[in-house]
Amino acid sequence: MDRYRFILSGGGTGGHIYPAVAIANELKKRYPDAEFLFVGAKDKMEMEKVPQAGFEIKGLWISGIQRKLTLKNLMFPFKLISSLLEARKIVKHFKPHVAIGTGGFASGPLLRMAESLGVPCVLQEQNSFAGITNKLLAGKAEKICVAYDGMERFFPKEKIVKTGNPIRTDLVDVKENKQEASNFFGLDGNKKTVLVLGGSLGARRINQLIEKELDFFAEQGLQVLWQCGKLYHEEYKKYDSGSVKVLAFVNRMDLAYAAADVIISRAGAGSVSELCLVGKSVIFIPSPNVAEDHQTQNAKALVAKDAAIMLRENELDTEFEKSFSGLMDSKEAQDKLGENIKKMAMPKATEHIVDEIEKLLK
């Protein structure tokens, strides 16, 4: 067999890029001589993140449709045609054995052209509510790897394989050493810790909530490990003190999870999959500003299995303190949420996805 060639596309957000890179790394481990090419959208973060991960990437002139009539929308047909032609050229030149799409605008033209040239395609859908690109591509894909039950609402049943979402391998054994983790962040190992996660850029509404509730946490004798995001660090770093640690970014997520007793988080697909593995009690505050309200759907899937609490942004002022106190006052409730969320973990997701890709190579 000559060397395998894999073409991958996923982008726009870390939620699409990270799974694509994880899949490529696992394929590289199994086929060290394989060639890899990523295809992304020209002005999106994948153009920076993929080369940082050690892979080559080519950009397409593609973007999504805005929700209102704008000049960008008028350009969309031209961008789409240009991207389809460019994608066709890339596929013909690279001659991949398999094409892999993890969602995002660029994966549409790439997988559409790969399929039309006879290349078998695999899709990976991270969310419990399928994204528009994957829904459009589903009919022609060989396999669709998903992380949630009930995805036959969106995809042909016979193509679906439940694999879970690729997650960072350093989290597979989150050490239960709370003391060491607390020391790392300069926290008190004997105090209960609330970990707040709003994503790498930060979440404005979650930050506003935490600022408002700092006295409430102090009254409860709690300490706070607050990842406020790089966009907001200047604004909130003034609260950094003995019992409140304010960070733009958390470099050691394994230790942050180990230090936490309860976690407040957004409900992006990657975060949800990680938190299932961590197995602690979580209050999800989904972002209402993402396509198709994915995050609310992701959180609801866990709430339905009694594996998490969800509060919408518009409920925070009235419901947060009540829900939070109810959770902190009951060790039983914390344990139950932790056990139930852990049952939903799929730590071998990346390997299972690559097993499905391998079947297409045979």
Residues within the annotated binding site?
13-15, 127, 168, 200, 295
Task: Give the C-alpha separation, 193 to 190, whole Å.
Answer: 9
Say how far residue 254 (Cα) sits from the centre of its chain.
16
Task: Give the C-alpha separation, 151 to 359, whole Å.
Answer: 22
Task: Give the C-alpha separation, 339 to 356, whole Å.
Answer: 29
- 119: tokens are 């290349």
For the chain, what percentages of helix, strand and coil (3-state, to nearest 5) are there?
Answer: 50, 15, 35
- 100: tokens are 């892999």
Q: Tell which residue, 129, 124, 174, 172, has the closest CA to residue 24.
A: 124
* DSSP character at residue 357: H
Strands (E), the chain: 5-9, 35-41, 57-60, 98-101, 121-125, 143-146, 160-162, 193-197, 223-227, 244-247, 262-265, 281-284, 309-310
Amino acid at 356: E
Task: Give the C-alpha separation, 97 to 340, whole Å.
Answer: 40
Question: Could you tell me which residues are annotated as the binding site for UDP-N-acetyl-alpha-D-glucosamine?
Answer: 13-15, 127, 168, 200, 295
Amino acid at 201: L
356 contacts 125 by C-beta, under 8 angstroms: no
Contacts of residue 202, defined as CB under 8 A and 6 or more positions apart, other chains included, come to 227, 228, 229, 230, 231, 232, 233
